[in-house]
Structure formats: C-alpha cells, structure tokens
Amino acid sequence: MPLRTAPLPRMAGHLSFMRSVRAKVEDLSSGTLAVIGVPMEGSKNLKSGARFSPLSIRETSVYFGWYANPQFSNPINIDEQEVFDTSSINERLFDLGDIPILGQTKSKAEELINHSIAQVYNRNATSIVLGGDSTIISPVSRGIANGKSVAYIQIGGKTPGTSNTKLDHHSSLALDSLLASGEVKLADTTILAPAENPTVEFLQELSGAGAKIFSSCQLKDMSSKEIADLSQTLSNRELPVIVNLDLSSVSSELHGMSEQPVFNGMSLKLLRQVLVALASAPIATLILTGHNPTINGLSVVKTGQRLIVTALVGYLCSRLGLMNDFNSNDN
C-alpha cells in the first residue's frame, strides 16, 4: 500500500509513533499497544549512535501517520473500492515517550526500564520497545518475567552460548543471562534467522534441549501458514512471549536498516511476514534493537527507517485486526 499525502505536513503537529496518541501508563487498558523508547547504548558497538534510534524511528513513522490519526487521509482498498476504517487505532495504540535514562548510572537506568515495562505489562498491554542497543534486552525482559518463566523469540543476533566476550553487542548475552536465571528455558526458546550460526555439535545440543532454530534460508522456504503455525505453537503455551527483533537478521541489501546486515539474511517481505504471523501469539513485549541512525549516509538511513516502520506496521495492523488485506498477500 503506497504512502499518501496527508493534510498535515509531517514536520508539523506532535511527534509520536505513527501520530498515535501520547499517553501515560494509567491510560492503558487490556489489549492496547504501548510504544516506548529506550535511548540506551552501553555495549561495544562499531559506532555510537544507537541511542538516537527511538527519535529517528518516530520521525520517520509520521509518514505513516494516517494509519493512526483521523485527521489524515484514510487508506483505500482499491480492490474493494472502499476506505479502510482505522479510527479505532487511536483507542488501542499509544506512545508513552522515552524512559528518562539519560544521565543515569547503568544500574539506575536498568531499574527504570524494568519498572516501566512492568507497569505496562501489569495493565495487560503489549509494549513495543524502540532501542537502543542490545543492553536493553535484559532489563526489559525482566520487567516481564519478574522471576517467572517466559517464552523467548529471538530474531537475528547470535545463538546462545556462542559469545566470547562480555562486551559483545549481539543479543545472545541477554538470552544467556535469562537462561542462566531460569526465567527462560531452552524448550521455550525460538531463534529465527540467527546472524551467526553455531557449530553443528552445539546446534544438536540446542535442538536436543528443545530449542527451535530456523535459518533465514529455512524461513524463505516456508509458507505464510507454516510460519503462522510457529506462532500458534507459542499461543498454546500459557507463558508470556518476549520477542527481540535484532536487525542483524536482515539481508545486506537492506543495510540502511541495520548496523550489521548479513549475507543471505531476511528480506523485508520475509521479515514482515514473520512479524505478521507472530501477531497472533501472546506477545508481552516486542524489543527492537540493532539500528543505528548515524552509521550510514543520511539518505540510506532514512530509507532504512522507512523499511523498519513498514515491517512494524505489518505487525501492528495484524495485531489490531485491521486491514487484513494489507497483510494477507504473502503466500
């Protein structure tokens, strides 16, 4: 579905994700979605700048503002010759702004993140967390787990146990920590399109413990229904689901989206297909990491951010039960 000109210029009006309503935790209710920015970077990245990602993604998302705000043009279903009704998004999609962690110590920042995410989860709402680098994954996840078991889906990043340094910037360290604490079990872990594959022996060990691992090549060969079946398997479990989308999963031609894209990684179509399928799972939080708006040239970054929002729009529309035609053309 193409972008359309909106009555209000994108540089005007309030800045929020997709022009959604800016709100407080108290405004959330069961079934709502809350976008939260975590401008934190504390790991050893190739280049600093991941902390600017929440702001940059919000700025780009206003191109898609008519999805979330009635004052914008309504998208048209050309096949059915009718206007999509998106007015209900205002009642279910909110932007809570950024967690105020700048200038805080690492421990205090993690405490604030943990508390903020727990508040959203306790209101039966789903948080969409805009990172930041992978150091946010552990405090966000523990805000959901709070000492209890959770299911974990990792898209991109390394497989657990393959990191050699404590300063590694991939998300495997967060998963290793959650596995060590017992909050996540390998049997409740699904890894999609890992950026770096483990050895054959370690892969067999992970599979033997019940972990599910699918390479990007395997995902490409799967139909939408087969990918949706993965989500349905999770839906049958009575565990909250944490999803970490590390953009190291994307293919090298999408280098504007990621600091470290991989050869033969996920295409935008496949990534959106996976996110749409996961929308039926009981996701407690979706954590976005791996984007650095300062790493490439301005035009490349802006294009990459549009692609990121495009993938997230697929998830949001499917989760909210809106515009199924928009999401149903991937077979």
Residues of the chain with pLDDT > 90, as a percent, come to: 19
pLDDT value of residue 90:
76
Task: At 14, list the tokens.
Answer: 């309030």
CA gap 276, 281 in Å, rounded: 10
72 occurs within a structural domain = no
In-domain check, residue 204:
yes
Helix axes 268-278 and 224-235, enclosed angle (nearest 10)? 30
Q: Is residue 83 part of a domain?
A: no
What are 147-188's pLDDT values in tens digits? 888 888 888 876 665 444 333 334 456 777 778 778 888 888
Q: How confident is the model at residue 287, as a pLDDT?
A: 94
Instruction: Please indicate, yes or no, if residue 61 is contained in any of the structural domains.
Output: no
More confident residue, 201 or 136: 136
Q: How many domains does the chain have?
A: 1
Domain presence at residue 142: yes
CA torsion 150→142→55→50, rounded to 10°? -100
The CATH number covering residue 319 comes to 3.40.800.10
Average pLDDT over residues 38-57: 80
Measured CA to CA, the distance from residue 142 to residue 107 in angstroms comes to: 13
Domain limits at 176?
19-56+94-327
Cα–Cα distance, 199 to 212 (Å, whole number)? 15
Domain-located, residue 102:
yes
What average pLDDT score do residues 232-238 get? Answer: 66
Quick check: is 218 in a domain?
Answer: yes
Average pLDDT over residues 127-137: 89
Summarize the confidence of residues 215-242 as an average pLDDT: 76
Residue 116 pLDDT exceeds 70: yes
pLDDT tier at 325 (50, 70, 90 boundaries)?
very low
Q: List the single range of 46-55, 182-191, 258-267 with lowest mean pLDDT.
A: 258-267
Measured distance CA(280)–CA(321) in Å, rounded: 10
Is the predicted pLDDT of residue 299 greater than 70, yes or no?
no
Give the pLDDT of residue 23.
93
The span from the CA of 98 to the CA of 34, in Å, is: 11
Domain presence at residue 33: yes
Model's pTM, two decimal places?
A: 0.84
